[in-house]
A and B are shown apart, each in its own frame.
Chain A
């Protein structure tokens, strides 16, 4: 006996009604057999298939029609339910929306933070060269690599010391009148800069823009600032560098490019051809022979497959070159860092981003748990509905559909709400992370689509568990009124509440530890007095007339002292050397200062003497070292100790020992370091008295403008410089404070809903207990005992884990607070207190209610 094709049978069977499916299929099969006998198998199959396929359109139509009808009903019921219990709906929707807003914003923020440098077309092929784990190199490295390592396709340099981050004054002429513009962030770059980096060009020819000396490329906004709407290409600019080694120059604008995107780690407003530097010798040597200036960044284009091989060759080449240049020193290590990794190189930025992402996920989890929990709690009031639906003929699957439909409806509301909140709260978020992130929903459909999908997916995940639980109620028991409120459902609620409060406790704990550490960073003495000091880069004219400048300023009674140093404090001392004393070989750092430095800064001398203007031999030949230096080199009698000549001016002698002071952030330990006396320093530090600060600043400004008319007086307070070292910690702190409080808010909202619900469910029980003589306290205890226990368990889980995570974070600091009892107690009792408050409030209400009301209920 032959049978019709299986697939076609299946089509027919789903298209026919369940009640007479077999009969219909039987009829079809009978016809099939008949045609088979008369006309053969092909015709029979053909006929059967045609029948099957013809059934499809009608089937689809009826499906859609009936599904639509049911959907309509589901939506109606869903809205009625939302309206019926406004309070719970409100908690549900607001909680989830706030959680989602936090999550969305954190995704946007971390997405931005992780997208650094990814806009370059060649991002995967660009590497930056690091030397001694620092992203700075010398200029001669590039020609060296070019000559010996053919694997490199392109190699380009960025000069950071003569142009990088420097602020020249640009003089443009307009209708014969010259106009002064103070500009910022100008870089000197190699001619092939645009071969490697993708900064879209607007006007001019990018390939040749940086070939000639004195050519300049401007960003769009810079060009507009200088030349308005006129075409900037071909215009000339008189350039006055703020670095004393750079002469005044006449430049020509060769191209205009788009503004540098926010997520570029190479930031500039203008580029000057490196060829310009070839026309003069900034350090007395041509830059390609200058091994002493570590202010260059070097980038190479390389096939990633060749990386390991190339690094080996580079290492060998570098060692050889170093030994030729500095025969007695161990060459520092050299290596490559992928361009996209550079923002995370040698810092804890990635941990920082992970921590923030963690908060986002946690807040979302809390909100989801709320959603699930409250839906479950409310489920018992829907039990009757489920029972009736089941009796009337709803299948389990249809019920699940119904409840998913409901959570989809909620999620739509939540989506809408969270977008509105996000839009409204944008400024708040910007101030939390202290930066503006360009995101525009309408302009970026690529961004909005995944977000919407994610929101829906999340809502479905949140809805599916309640849906399954609700759909699995047994019709008979439900309708008999014996809904099972047993242990099992309590367990899931237990798990969720504990999880929620564990996260809350952990977040509070982390926030407190971070606050502690930031307080520690802010208040730990630096080893000198960083308050009331301003520092600024000197201009060329000030350098020429420094003595006049100094004498005139010191006449002002509010200016206590001033000194010049090679580097501003708050960063690495700029000279790094290895030294061998007493058979101990170690690295140490130093910088040059003038004799007033130690007294102006308030650094404490513990042995020996300060530099003296009067002693001519101090210049270049005297050294003041810190305690760590003494300890590292194990100096028994540091004063008078001769140190091998490391700078080419003969052997210096240690004349003093100063107390350790923090010249950079608390992330790093104090290294052995030294100050020596030289008179060619570029940073001016002025100590002012704490009184009349605006007038004092104005007075300095006046003298400055008189002596150096071309350059604005651009100063920073030193304590501000130090505060800025902890910007990322600040952002983290702010994110933790704001988002952790939101998480706790959501968790409390959830607890509130849960408890008030359970109290209401037990109205009758409470009423009867009261009638029988239960006390108010007894009833409060009855309602709240369980929840308090849960919160305690949550604390016990959360605190050890959070402590573990935080000690990991603290380990990134060389100087850190210890984990004290404070945060543990505050976090634990804080959450407990909040839970107690909410539970107590609700329980109190339940306990005080009139039992008559309760018993009349229903």
Chain B
């Protein structure tokens, strides 16, 4: 049970958020695209799968197979849905983030001055 209390890693957090946002169309391809857009950097498939697999293992996500489509070489998609615990983890994450951000001095949305 310790696993559920564990704070999610960054890729896990991103993946979980992506699934939450993309539902019901959350599968490997869309999730990766979404994360890449959000972070503006290249993510390998492996990193995404890794996060998704770990989330599934922790019970934050469930997966189910959809029917095969031709553009995938006749292979089925694996859709992810967020579970109750996944949802709770997101809520907890949000509160953690908010607590952390809450009384920070104003960043001013400026880049630090160059010395």
Using CB atoms and an 8 Å cutoff, list the residues of chain A in contact with chain B.
Answer: 1, 3-4, 20, 22-31, 33, 51, 54-55, 58
Q: Determine if B29 and A27 form an interchain contact, defined as CB atoms under 8 angstroms apart.
A: yes
Determine how close the nearest CB of chain A comes to the CB of B45; give it in whole angstroms.
6
List of B residues within 8 angstroms of A22 by Cβ:
65, 75-76
Q: Determine if B73 and A29 form an interchain contact, defined as CB atoms under 8 angstroms apart.
A: yes
Given A1-B70, A1-B71, A33-B71, A27-B76 contact (CB < 8 Å): no
Q: Determine if B45 and A51 form an interchain contact, defined as CB atoms under 8 angstroms apart.
A: yes
**Known pairs A23-B63, A26-B69, A27-B32. 5 more at Cβ < 8 A?**
A4-B73, A24-B45, A26-B68, A27-B72, A31-B32
List of B residues within 8 angstroms of A27 by Cβ:
27-29, 32, 45, 72, 77-78
Confirm or deny: B44 has a beta carbon within 8 angstroms of a beta carbon on chain A. Answer: yes
Using CB atoms and an 8 Å cutoff, list the residues of chain B in contact with chain A.
Answer: 27-29, 32, 44-46, 49, 63, 65, 68-73, 75-78
List of B residues within 8 angstroms of A51 by Cβ:
44-45
List of A residues within 8 angstroms of B72 by Cβ:
26-27, 29-30
Q: Determine if B45 and A25 form an interchain contact, defined as CB atoms under 8 angstroms apart.
A: no
Q: How far is the CA of A733 from the CA of B63 in the complex (A)?
A: 77
Determine how close the nearest CB of chain A comes to the CB of B68; give it in whole angstroms.
8
In the complex, the chain B residue whose C-beta lies closest to that of A27 is B28
Determine how close the nearest CB of chain A comes to the CB of B24; give it in whole angstroms.
16
Selected from A23, A30, A33, A58, the residue in CB contact (under 8 A) with B46 is A58
List of B residues within 8 angstroms of A33 by Cβ:
71
Q: Determine if A3 and B76 form an interchain contact, defined as CB atoms under 8 angstroms apart.
A: no
Q: Determine if A23 and B65 form an interchain contact, defined as CB atoms under 8 angstroms apart.
A: yes
Q: Determine if B73 and A25 form an interchain contact, defined as CB atoms under 8 angstroms apart.
A: yes
Q: How far is the CA of A31 from the CA of B72 in the complex (A)?
A: 9
Q: Determine if A24 and B49 form an interchain contact, defined as CB atoms under 8 angstroms apart.
A: yes
Determine how close the nearest CB of chain A comes to the CB of B5; give it in whole angstroms.
27
Q: Determine if B27 and A23 form an interchain contact, defined as CB atoms under 8 angstroms apart.
A: yes
Q: Determine if A54 and B44 form an interchain contact, defined as CB atoms under 8 angstroms apart.
A: yes
Determine how close the nearest CB of chain B comes to the CB of A26; give it in whole angstroms.
3
Q: Determine if B28 and A24 form an interchain contact, defined as CB atoms under 8 angstroms apart.
A: yes
List of A residues within 8 angstroms of B28 by Cβ:
23-24, 26-27, 30
Given A20-B63, A30-B29, A33-B71, A55-B76 contact (CB < 8 Å): no
The 7 closest A-B pairs by CB, nearest first: A26-B75, A23-B78, A27-B28, A26-B72, A29-B73, A22-B75, A30-B29
Q: Determine if A55 and B65 form an interchain contact, defined as CB atoms under 8 angstroms apart.
A: no
Given A24-B49, A51-B45, A3-B73 contact (CB < 8 Å): yes
Determine how close the nearest CB of chain B comes to the CB of A375; give it in whole angstroms.
40
Can you list 19 A-B pairs with a CB-CB distance of less than 8 A?
A3-B73, A4-B73, A20-B63, A20-B78, A22-B76, A23-B63, A23-B65, A23-B75, A24-B28, A25-B75, A26-B69, A27-B29, A27-B45, A27-B78, A29-B75, A31-B32, A54-B44, A55-B46, A58-B46
In the complex, the chain A residue whose C-beta lies closest to that of B74 is A26
Determine how close the nearest CB of chain B comes to the CB of A47; give it in whole angstroms.
11
In the complex, the chain A residue whose C-beta lies closest to that of B72 is A26
Determine how close the nearest CB of chain B comes to the CB of A29; give it in whole angstroms.
4
**Chief secondary structure at chain A's binding surface:** helix
Q: Determine if A30 and B78 form an interchain contact, defined as CB atoms under 8 angstroms apart.
A: no
List of A residues within 8 angstroms of B32 by Cβ:
27, 31
List of B residues within 8 angstroms of A30 by Cβ:
28-29, 71-72
Selected from B44, B71, B76, the residue in CB contact (under 8 A) with A23 is B76
Determine how close the nearest CB of chain B comes to the CB of A58; give it in whole angstroms.
7
Which of B27, B69, B75 counts the most A-chain CB atoms under 10 A from its CB?
A: B75
List of B residues within 8 angstroms of A3 by Cβ:
73
Q: How far is the CA of A33 from the CA of B74 in the complex (A)?
A: 13
List of A residues within 8 angstroms of B45 by Cβ:
24, 27-28, 31, 51
In the complex, the chain B residue whose C-beta lies closest to that of A3 is B73
In the complex, the chain B residue whose C-beta lies closest to that of A33 is B71
Selected from B29, B46, B75, the residue in CB contact (under 8 A) with A54 is B46
Determine how close the nearest CB of chain A comes to the CB of B58; give it in whole angstroms.
16
List of B residues within 8 angstroms of A31 by Cβ:
29, 32, 45
Determine how close the nearest CB of chain A comes to the CB of B71; give it in whole angstroms.
5
List of B residues within 8 angstroms of A24 by Cβ:
28, 45, 49, 78
Determine how close the nearest CB of chain B comes to the CB of A44; give it in whole angstroms.
13
Q: How far is the CA of A20 from the CA of B63 in the complex (A)?
A: 10
Determine how close the nearest CB of chain A comes to the CB of B50; give it in whole angstroms.
10
In the complex, the chain B residue whose C-beta lies closest to that of A20 is B78
In the complex, the chain B residue whose C-beta lies closest to that of A2 is B73
List of B residues within 8 angstroms of A55 by Cβ:
46
Q: How far is the CA of A25 from the CA of B70 in the complex (A)?
A: 13
Q: How far is the CA of A27 from the CA of B75 in the complex (A)?
A: 9
Q: How far is the CA of A3 from the CA of B72 in the complex (A)?
A: 9
Determine how close the nearest CB of chain A comes to the CB of B19; give it in whole angstroms.
14
List of B residues within 8 angstroms of A28 by Cβ:
45
Q: How far is the CA of A54 from the CA of B27 in the complex (A)?
A: 22
Which of A25, A27, A31 counts the most B-chain CB atoms under 10 A from its CB?
A: A27
In the complex, the chain A residue whose C-beta lies closest to that of B73 is A29
Determine how close the nearest CB of chain B comes to the CB of A725; give it in whole angstroms.
80
List of A residues within 8 angstroms of B65 by Cβ:
22-23
Determine how close the nearest CB of chain A comes to the CB of B1; give it in whole angstroms.
24
Q: How far is the CA of A55 from the CA of B44 in the complex (A)?
A: 11
Determine how close the nearest CB of chain B comes to the CB of A460; give it in whole angstroms.
37
In the complex, the chain B residue whose C-beta lies closest to that of A12 is B45
List of A residues within 8 angstroms of B63 by Cβ:
20, 23
List of A residues within 8 angstroms of B69 by Cβ:
26
List of B residues within 8 angstroms of A58 by Cβ:
46
In the complex, the chain B residue whose C-beta lies closest to that of A50 is B44
List of A residues within 8 angstroms of B77 by Cβ:
23, 26-27
Q: How far is the CA of A20 from the CA of B78 in the complex (A)?
A: 8
Q: How far is the CA of A55 from the CA of B46 in the complex (A)?
A: 8
Q: Determine if B46 and A26 form an interchain contact, defined as CB atoms under 8 angstroms apart.
A: no
Q: Determine if B49 and A26 form an interchain contact, defined as CB atoms under 8 angstroms apart.
A: no
In the complex, the chain B residue whose C-beta lies closest to that of A21 is B75
Determine how close the nearest CB of chain A comes to the CB of B15; give it in whole angstroms.
14
Which of B27, B46, B70 counts the most A-chain CB atoms under 10 A from its CB?
A: B46
List of A residues within 8 angstroms of B29 by Cβ:
27, 30-31
List of A residues within 8 angstroms of B49 by Cβ:
24
In the complex, the chain A residue whose C-beta lies closest to that of B75 is A26
List of B residues within 8 angstroms of A23 by Cβ:
27-28, 63, 65, 75-78
Determine how close the nearest CB of chain A comes to the CB of B57; give it in whole angstroms.
12
Q: How far is the CA of A25 from the CA of B78 in the complex (A)?
A: 11
Determine how close the nearest CB of chain A comes to the CB of B14; give it in whole angstroms.
17
List of A residues within 8 angstroms of B70 by Cβ:
1
Determine how close the nearest CB of chain A comes to the CB of B52; give it in whole angstroms.
9
List of B residues within 8 angstroms of A4 by Cβ:
73
Determine how close the nearest CB of chain B comes to the CB of A760; give it in whole angstroms.
47
Q: How far is the CA of A23 from the CA of B48 in the complex (A)?
A: 13
List of B residues within 8 angstroms of A20 by Cβ:
63, 78
List of A residues within 8 angstroms of B71 by Cβ:
1, 29-30, 33
Q: How far is the CA of A583 from the CA of B72 in the complex (A)?
A: 103
Determine how close the nearest CB of chain A comes to the CB of B81; give it in whole angstroms.
14
Q: How far is the CA of A27 from the CA of B73 in the complex (A)?
A: 10
In the complex, the chain A residue whose C-beta lies closest to that of B27 is A27
Determine how close the nearest CB of chain B comes to the CB of A52; give it in whole angstroms.
11
In the complex, the chain B residue whose C-beta lies closest to that of A51 is B45
Determine how close the nearest CB of chain B comes to the CB of A718; give it in whole angstroms.
90
Determine how close the nearest CB of chain B comes to the CB of A9; give it in whole angstroms.
8
Q: How far is the CA of A393 from the CA of B63 in the complex (A)?
A: 23
Q: How far is the CA of A31 from the CA of B27 in the complex (A)?
A: 12
Q: How far is the CA of A30 from the CA of B49 in the complex (A)?
A: 15
Selected from A1, A26, A54, the residue in CB contact (under 8 A) with B76 is A26
Determine how close the nearest CB of chain B comes to the CB of A195; give it in whole angstroms.
70
Q: How far is the CA of A51 from the CA of B29 in the complex (A)?
A: 14
Determine how close the nearest CB of chain B comes to the CB of A124; give it in whole angstroms.
60
Q: How far is the CA of A29 from the CA of B28 in the complex (A)?
A: 11
Q: How far is the CA of A25 from the CA of B77 in the complex (A)?
A: 9
Q: How far is the CA of A31 from the CA of B48 in the complex (A)?
A: 14
In the complex, the chain A residue whose C-beta lies closest to that of B71 is A33
Determine how close the nearest CB of chain B comes to the CB of A758; give it in whole angstroms.
50
List of A residues within 8 angstroms of B27 by Cβ:
23, 27
Which of A22, A54, A55 counts the most B-chain CB atoms under 10 A from its CB?
A: A22
